[in-house]
Amino acid sequence: MEMHGQNSSQDADFVILGFGASEHFQIMLFALFLLMHLITLSGHLTIVAVTFIDSALQTPMYFFLRNLSSIEVCYTLVIVPKMLANFLAKSRRISLTDCATQMYFFIALGGAECFLLAVMSYDRYVAICNPLRYAVVMSRNFCVQLLVVACVSGFTISLGLTTLIFRMPFCGSHMVNHFFCDIPPILFLACSDTRANEVAVFLVCTMILLVPFILILVSYVFIANSIFRIKAAEDRKKAFSTCAAHLTVAMLHYGCAIFIYIRPKSSYSLDQDKLVSLIYTNVTPMLYPMIYSLRNKEVKGALKRIWQRIFVFKAT
Question: What's the average model confidence in pLDDT over 19-28?
Answer: 82
Q: How far apart are CA 193 and CA 140, in angstroms?
A: 48
Question: CB–CB of 143/63 below 8 Å?
Answer: yes
* Rounded-to-integer distance, Cα 74 and Cα 293, Å: 20
> Is the pLDDT score of 155 beyond 80?
yes
Q: What span, in angstroms and rounded, lies between the C-alpha atoms of 183 and 72?
A: 19
Answer yes or no: is pLDDT of 73 > 90.
Answer: yes
Q: How far apart are CA 274 and CA 268, in angstroms?
A: 10
What is the model's pLDDT at position 35? 97
Using the 8-state DSSP alphabet, how is residue 129 labeled?
H
Instruction: Enumerate the β-bridge partners of residue 15.
Output: 93, 175
Tell me what the mean pLDDT of segment 253-280 comes to: 82
Farthest-apart Cα atoms in the chain, separation: 73
Burial-class residue 108 by CB neighbours within 10 Å (0-12, 13-18, 19+).
buried
pLDDT of residue 265: 65
| Residue % of the chain over a pLDDT of 70 | 92
pLDDT reading at 168 higher than 50: yes
Q: How far apart are CA 226 and CA 239, in angstroms?
A: 9
Residue 5's pLDDT is 41
* H-assigned helices in 167-210: 183-189, 195-205
What is the Cα–Cα distance from 286 to 79, expressed in whole angstroms? 14
Q: What is the arithmetic mean of pLDDT over 81-88?
A: 92
> Quick one: which of 73, 137, 29 has its CA closest to 285?
73
pLDDT in tens, 287-304: 999 888 766 777 777 777
d(CA 259, CA 210): 11
Q: Directed axis angle between helix 60-88 and helix 96-129, to 10°?
A: 150
Considering only CA atoms, which of 119, 184, 127, 177 is closest in space to residue 153?
Answer: 119
pLDDT beyond 80 at 147:
yes
Residues in CB range of 215: below 8 A, 6 or more apart: 118, 121, 122
Global confidence as pTM: 0.88
For CA atoms 241, 246, 251, 253, the dihedral sign is positive
* Residue type for position 163: T
- β-strands 175-176, 13-16: how paired? parallel
Contacts of 91 (CB under 8 A, 6+ apart): none
Residue 21 has pLDDT above 50, yes or no: yes
Candidate ranges 54-63, 110-119, 197-206, 242-251; pick with highest mean pLDDT: 110-119
Please tell me the predicted confidence (pLDDT) of residue 313: 60
- C-alpha span between 31 and 272 (Å, rounded): 23
